[in-house]
Amino acid sequence: MNVKYAVIFEQAQANWAAYVPDLPGCMTTGRTLEETRLNIREAIQGHLETLRQFGDPIPVPCSLAGEVEITTAA
């Protein structure tokens, strides 16, 4: 079964971070955005497997990530 979770990526000074709002505690970092994308995929899979092992419910994806454009003074 394919499920899509929203992932937030944040660039820091020396690396990238990612977290999944619908999976509290599911986060990772990487040196590049691509590495972080791979790492968060593994983190999600591991997080869901841990939930299953403990008999905890699998959260239904409900968060959305988007962009909002605003106009600012020059």
- What does the block give as tokens for 31? 């040196």
Cβ atoms 21, 63 nearer than 8 A:
yes
pTM value is: 0.88
Where are the extended beta strands (E) located within 31-73? Answer: none
Tens-place pLDDT, residues 35-68: 999 999 999 999 999 999 999 999 999 999 899 9
Tens-place pLDDT, residues 1-33: 789 999 999 999 999 999 999 999 999 999 999
